[in-house]
Copies of this chain bind each other. A is one copy, B any other.
């Protein structure tokens, strides 16, 4: 069996962990809902458009996109197909590697993103960013930075 005496979470630690989970669930729900009704996009879809918009040429390889989105490749295939049906993204096969596929942001995709972004940012601001002080923001950014870095890194296993 495992270690007989577990180091349970104390009150503060529990508060942090459950607060994190709760905030995540609630934030996601609101964001999903707002994005859907104001721009007709799911949060995952919005994130895809954002990554593509940032990328040079407005395009990224499927795998690269999946990596930055922290999602599975099969899921990305599905979402990109949906976005393609909506005309917001198109696929382009990679010239130097027959296996490779680029997801490319279309003009309409960019327009849709630009239409969605202000409302989305305003919501994130209202629900999270503006609720916290600058000091809190810094601490969170640092903390999550560390956590994310360790999670990506196999050594932190």
- Residues of A with Cβ closer than 8 Å to B? 2-3, 6-9, 12-13, 15-17, 19-20, 22-27, 29-30, 70-71, 117-119, 121-122, 124-125, 127-129, 131-132, 134-148, 150-152, 156
Distance in angstroms from A90 CB to nearest chain B CB is 26
Chain multiplicity (copies): 2
State A134–B16 Cα separation when bound (angstroms).
Answer: 11
- Specify which of A17, A70, A146 lies most central, judged by the most chain B CB atoms within 10 Å of its CB: A17
State A141–B140 Cα separation when bound (angstroms).
Answer: 10
Known: A9-B124, A118-B2. A15 touches B70 (CB 8 A): no
State A6–B125 Cα separation when bound (angstroms).
Answer: 11
- The answer to whether A139 and B135 have CB atoms under 8 Å apart is yes
- The answer to whether A152 and B6 have CB atoms under 8 Å apart is no
- The answer to whether A143 and B151 have CB atoms under 8 Å apart is no
Which of B22, B129, B131, B136 contacts A70 (CB under 8 A)?
B22
- The answer to whether B22 and A148 have CB atoms under 8 Å apart is yes
Known: A13-B137, A22-B70, A148-B22. A8 touches B121 (CB 8 A): yes
